[in-house]
Amino acid sequence: MTTAPAMAPDPLEVLAEVFGYGSFRGPQAEIVGHVVGGGSALVLMPTGGGKSLCYQIPALCRPGTGVVISPLIALMDDQVAALRQAGVRAAALHSAQGPEQAQAAWKALRSGELDLVYLSPERLLAGDCLDRLAELPIALFAIDEAHCVSQWGHDFRPEYLQLAVLAERFPTIPRLALTATADGRTREDIRQRLRLQDDRVFLASFDRPNITYLVREKEGPGAQLQAFLAPRKGEAGIVYARSRQRVDRLAQELAAAGFDALAYHAGLDPQRRSAVLERFRRDSGVIVVATIAFGMGIDKPDVRFVIHADPPAAIEAYWQEVGRAGRDGRPAEGITLYGASDLAWALERLRRRELPEAIAQTQAHKIRQMYAMFEGTVCRAAAVRRYFGEIDADPCGQCDLCLHPPQSIDATQMAQKLLSAVHRLGGRLGRGRLIDHLRGVTKAVNEHEAAMSTFGVGRDVSAAAWRDLLDQLMFEGLLVEHANDGRPLVGLGEPVEVRAVYRGDRRVDTRRAPPGQEATGGSARRRRGGDADPVDGANQGLFDALRGWRRAEAARQHVPPYVIFHDQTLADIAASRPTSRDALSAIGGVGRGKLDRYGDSVLEIVRASG
């Protein structure tokens, strides 16, 4: 009798058997097919889009071990824990583990007992790691957070540059670079630096239909924050602020107001940081107030809101940070507060970094593009997706601008007056004096200035309206502020653009927020993508019982609850009340490993709630 050669497992079967999902999402199927067939690629997909399966499934289908390079140690451990729950043989190698753990991982790796191994770039490049890997069958290399290789991105990590060596050392092994954040230029940079120029690029839509976006000008950030949070008590969320001091203060204010809020930033000692992370992952309803030090490793699926109490660094960072909300596909919110002084602060900080000129200019442009989006009059989600190259993005129908389209007024003439005043004055005045000039305010004015044709051309317009227009022209790059001993002077921006406004070829619209537009959004939480509440009243008791069981199980195994089952899976179990293993395994998120491990307990709980 002849035996047929062992067939490579079918990706769809692996998806169902191991992960318990019935179908691939978006471009996942195509990417998986490409990599299983030995191809390399760059994958761009939004946070929460499902990047992990794009390399986990090929690693299980191809012979050998899949090597995943990730800069995020906390995330590695979670991913390994989640994979083990699903019955996948996985381990991590990173600097935060002891020598015994590393030895055990190497031993398993050498004896072919691992489907996946997670490595930090430092580990991969240190010592003889590459030589040791070269002796083993490798299924693929996955390079997570691939934008870290590019200086054009917002999160450059020099050690990533050395990952180019993989192409040279392992020319026949597929390499999959993945990122949630890359504009055209960063994308090309990644391809070049990781030697993927001739390989495919998979671009998923950056749409996150379950997230609702709201952007507000700062009034009193502390009070605004509490107004946002009041209707959201009991939900897990992240509040980003720009400095450690701000984080500490906001966290204290929130705690004093009765919120379960904890501060997180790089100035806290490591034990404190991991305790905060632990609480956020394990308990529901914790709010973490943090600098951007918190987040790259957060794959908690049920984060319900991300609030920027200070604006993010650029649109890429905005989308990535907001994308940490609602990974479970249920309704979630992204709320951002910004002000003109934040723009000035961001540009000043950029100047202090003393980057090479071309890079500094690109970064400044990125910052302005983000503010232009904040100040914009059309759908926020569509604006961001266009920024990422999705030319045909439709309005989302649920962001603040879609729900309350601002009235825009043609301010081209006002802008012409303002720009010519700045031009005539030769950029010698700061904001306040410039507005006085336009309004013909005579204090502190010399004869020369009073005789200028632009002096008093804007008498009929309020100082506040001029200030708004000034901000907007800054956001659009038509005006710039130059540092001048802490009292910035206003000068002209991009000459081509300024000329277009003078000639009337470029229209300037300002927006007037409709009165009474309320910022809490708490009542109208209907959304396009996500389902409503996970459970309706009748199933609440069973849902709670399942959550209680999961909490105990997670504590016993020292893993976060969501690696056992997601809320959505428990909600589906509560709704369909399966009475057999077959019925249970038909539910999304229940693969073979989890069925074997937890099937009996879950069925018992369902039966008992009868």
Q: At closest approach, how far in Å is the CB of 511 from Zn ion?
A: 15
- Among the listed residues 11, 14, 35, 52, the single contact to ligand ADP using CB under 6 A: 52
Residue whose CB is less far from Zn ion, 334 or 560 = 334
Measured in residues, the chain has a length of 610
Residue 51 interacting partner from ligand ADP, Zn ion, none (CB closer than 5 to 8 Å by kind): ligand ADP
Burial class (CB in 10 A: 0-12, 13-18, 19+), 69: buried
Residue 399 interacting partner from ligand ADP, Zn ion, none (CB closer than 5 to 8 Å by kind): Zn ion
Residue 157 makes contact with ligand ADP by CB under 6 A: no
Residue whose CB is less far from Zn ion, 261 or 399 = 399
- Kindly state the tokens that stand for 459: 């008498």
Distance (Å, whole) CA 9 – CA 529? 32
Q: At closest approach, how far in Å is the CB of 175 from ligand ADP?
A: 17
Residue 327 makes contact with ligand ADP by CB under 6 A: yes
Distance (Å, whole) CA 81 – CA 557? 10
Other CB atoms within a 10 A radius of the CB of residue 538 amount to 9
User: How many residues line the site for ligand ADP (CB under 6 A)?
Assistant: 15
Distance (Å, whole) CA 263 – CA 447? 55
Q: List CB contacts of 242: < 8 A, sequence separation 6 or more.
A: 291, 310, 342, 345
**Of residues 11-30, which lie at the interface with ligand ADP (CB under 6 A)?**
21, 24-25, 28
Output the DSSP codes for 525-555: ---SSS-SSSS-GGGHHHHHHHHHHHHHHHH
Q: At closest approach, how far in Å is the CB of 74 from ligand ADP?
A: 14
Residue 203 interacting partner from Zn ion, ligand ADP, none (CB closer than 5 to 8 Å by kind): none
Q: At closest approach, how far in Å is the CB of 346 from ligand ADP?
A: 26
Strands 261-264 and 287-290: parallel
Residue whose CB is less far from ligand ADP, 207 or 468 = 207
Which residues make up the interface to Zn ion (CB under 5 A)?
379, 395-396, 399, 402
- Among the listed residues 9, 33, 39, 50, the single contact to ligand ADP using CB under 6 A: 50
Q: List CB contacts of 413: < 8 A, sequence separation 6 or more.
A: none
Residue 196 makes contact with ligand ADP by CB under 6 A: no
Question: Which region, judged by CB under 6 A, interacts with ligand ADP, from 46-54, 195-203, 252-260, 579-587?
Answer: 46-54
Q: At closest approach, how far in Å is the CB of 569 from ligand ADP?
A: 10
DSSP state of 227: H
DSSP state of 459: T
Output the DSSP codes for 291-338: -TTSSTT---TT--EEEESS--SSHHHHHHHHTTTTTTSS-EEEEEEE
Question: Which region, judged by CB under 6 A, interacts with ligand ADP, from 49-57, 114-122, 276-284, 396-404?
Answer: 49-57
Question: Which region, judged by CB under 6 A, interacts with ligand ADP, from 48-56, 103-111, 262-270, 305-313?
Answer: 48-56
Alpha-carbon torsion, ordered 142, 148, 151, 156, to 10 deg = -150
- Among the listed residues 49, 221, 334, 376, the single contact to ligand ADP using CB under 6 A: 49
Residue 396 interacting partner from Zn ion, ligand ADP, none (CB closer than 5 to 8 Å by kind): Zn ion
